[in-house]
């Protein structure tokens, strides 16, 4: 009890892990740790582990979903490492390792062709899909891991088709190059989400340390597996499928655990649909739980954002119809079965959100017309403009409470992840 006496002059803490106080006792200032005399977190084994593998300031410096995501991400990386070992062994056997009849030149040519096609695939994929990797990070993250498993499965089968070995490994190389682009880019997008103190570099570096530790563990396990699976294709395939199932399950749980507070097309559509249904605003965790993480094809009328003016209007009459009952800095129209949105240069983030909401409403109206094909064939352009005008009136009624409600529910309304193209159009109204 004697130790607790004295006036407290100051207190300090290191994140949320430990706190100290400075006490004046007998004219001397002493520094004491709150909560007992245990080892400080920074010097204990657990403390050292945290400082090596977790970002500084954890958990305050990262998003709330960080630990859950990293757990599943670590598990998927471990299983992927083991699957990769089996695929690498198959590739080496296919190029002639252990075969006295194989030549170094033939193996080298095969490897160069594999790398070359992979480089081309990387460039083409980044060109075609680079802008989608931010707005649909979850989908592309899961897609990358599924494609990676397919590539490794193809590599394992390649040695059993020697006549087509080069073609097969080149195809696998293209798949893996796409995986590299999609996986790396979506990892960067998720790091932006997790960083809460502008500490992206620290989070990325610690993620690399975690992955290195996992790969080291995978390497040790692989040293045990390789003697067992050599010249045993049945066991190789069985283990590969086991690791693949674990890998895909962990990846699914990982992307499902991510809770993003910014709107993309899917999350905004989910919140809007719920609001139209019962006037309730979904919170970020609720909307993220409903967000699809697999690609869906042909279920809704497609929406094109940031298009050229000619994709909406073909004549002065069309422009007049597009401006009718519309005072916003965007234009909407329906062309070739697609909802198109033309954005003005002065459009704000709020305008972008409103334009996306209205495009979703218009898409729903078209979907309700039996089917997309029937609507495209039967409805005349005049009917389309009537739908556009109706959507303007509905947005005038619901957007303000929707926007304020989303802000109150925890959504970040200062920026979005909506995938707009770069076209910006200035148009003239009658008054001007």
* Res 371 pLDDT > 80: no
Q: Considering the chain, what percentage of its residues have pLDDT values greater than 70?
A: 88
List, in order, residues 6 or more apart from 279 with CB less than 8 Å away: none
What is the per-residue pLDDT across 59-69, written as a single tens digit (0 to 9) for each?
A: 889 999 999 99
Per-residue confidence at 341, pLDDT binned at 50, 70, 90?
very high
What is the per-residue pLDDT across 138-181, written as a single tens digit (0 to 9) for each?
A: 999 999 999 999 999 998 888 888 888 888 888 998 999 999 99
Q: Mapping DSSP to helix (H, G, I), strand (E, B) and coil, where does residue 108 land?
A: helix
**Contact 323/312 with Cβ under 8 angstroms?**
no
Ranges 1-5, 150-154, 281-285, 386-390: which has the least confidence: 1-5
Ranges 12-26, 48-62, 345-359: which has the least confidence: 12-26
SS3 sequence, 158-224?
HHHCHHHHHHHHHHHHHHHHHHHHHHHHHHHHHHHHHECCCCHHHHHHHHHHHHHHHHHHHHHHHHH
Kindly report whether the peptide bond that precedes residue 59 is cis, defined as omega within 30 degrees of 0.
yes
Vertex 429, ends 427 and 432: CA angle to 5°? 105
The larger pLDDT score, comparing residue 47 to residue 332, is at 332
Q: Taking the alpha carbons of 34, 40, 42, 44 in that order, is the dihedral positive or negative?
A: negative
Residue 303 β-bridge partners = 339
The larger pLDDT score, comparing residue 285 to residue 367, is at 285
Provide the pLDDT for residue 67.
Answer: 94
Domains of the chain, earliest start first: 2-53 (no CATH), 66-257 (1.20.1250.20), 265-408 (no CATH)
Provide the pLDDT for residue 431.
Answer: 47
Q: Taking the alpha carbons of 165, 166, 167, 171 in that order, is the dihedral positive or negative?
A: positive
Provide the pLDDT for residue 299.
Answer: 62
Vertex 110, ends 122 and 172: CA angle to 5°? 40
**Contact 84/40 with Cβ under 8 angstroms?**
no
What is the per-residue pLDDT across 213-266, written as a single tens digit (0 to 9) for each?
A: 999 999 999 988 888 888 788 888 899 999 999 999 999 999 999 999 999 999
Ranges 70-84, 226-240, 408-422: which has the least confidence: 226-240
Task: Give the chain's largest Cα–Cα span.
Answer: 93
Tallying the residues shown for the chain, one arrives at 432
What is the per-residue pLDDT across 25-42, written as a single tens digit (0 to 9) for each?
A: 877 888 888 865 445 545
Coarse DSSP helix, strand, coil percentages of the chain, rounded to the nearest 5 percent: 60, 10, 30
Backbone region of residue 96 per phi and psi (left: phi > 0; alpha: psi in -120 to 50; beta: other values):
left
């Amino acid at each position: 009890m004697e130790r607790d006496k004295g006036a407290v002059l100051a207190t300090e803490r290191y994140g949320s892990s430990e706190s100290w106080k400075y006490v004046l006792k007998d004219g001397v200032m002493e520094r004491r740790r709150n909560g007992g005399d245990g080892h400080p977190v920074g010097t204990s084994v657990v403390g050292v582990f945290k400082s090596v593998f977790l970002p500084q300031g954890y958990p305050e410096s990262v998003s709330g979903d960080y630990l859950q995501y990293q757990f599943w991400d670590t598990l998927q990386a471990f299983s992927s490492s083991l699957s990769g070992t089996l695929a690498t062994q198959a590739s080496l056997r296919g190029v002639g390792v252990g075969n006295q009849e194989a030549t170094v030149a033939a193996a080298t040519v095969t490897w160069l062709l594999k790398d070359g096609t992979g480089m081309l695939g990387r460039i083409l994929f980044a060109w075609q899909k680079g802008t989608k990797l931010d707005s649909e990070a979850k989908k592309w993250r899961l897609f990358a891991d599924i494609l990676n498993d397919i590539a490794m499965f193809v590599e394992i089968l390649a040695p059993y088709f020697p006549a087509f070995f080069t073609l097969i490994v080149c195809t696998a190389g293209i798949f893996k190059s796409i995986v590299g682009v999609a996986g790396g880019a979506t990892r960067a997008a998720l790091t932006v989400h997790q960083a809460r103190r502008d500490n992206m570099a620290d989070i990325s570096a610690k993620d690399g340390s975690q992955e290195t530790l996992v790969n080291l563990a995978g390497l040790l396990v692989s040293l045990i597996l390789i003697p067992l699976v050599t010249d045993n294709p049945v066991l190789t395939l069985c283990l590969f499928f086991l690791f693949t199932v674990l890998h895909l399950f962990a990846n699914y749980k990982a992307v499902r655990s991510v809770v993003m507070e910014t709107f993309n097309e899917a999350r905004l559509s989910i919140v809007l649909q719920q609001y139209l249904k019962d006037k309730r605003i979904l919170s970020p965790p609720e909307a993220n739980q409903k967000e699809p993480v697999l690609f869906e094809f042909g279920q809704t009328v497609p929406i094109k954002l940031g298009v050229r003016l000619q994709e909406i209007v073909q004549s002065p009459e069309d422009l007049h119809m597009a401006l009718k009952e519309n005072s916003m800095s965007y234009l909407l129209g329906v062309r070739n079965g697609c909802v198109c949105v033309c954005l003005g240069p002065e459009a704000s983030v709020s305008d972008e959100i409103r334009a996306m909401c209205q495009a979703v409403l218009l898409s729903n109206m078209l979907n309700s017309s039996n089917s997309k094909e029937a609507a495209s064939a039967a409805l005349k352009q005049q009917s389309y403009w009537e739908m556009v005008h109706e959507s303007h009136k509905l947005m005038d009624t619901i957007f303000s409470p929707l926007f304020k409600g989303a802000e109150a529910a925890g959504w970040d309304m200062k920026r979005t992840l909506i995938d707009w193209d770069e076209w910006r159009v200035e148009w003239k109204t009658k008054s001007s």
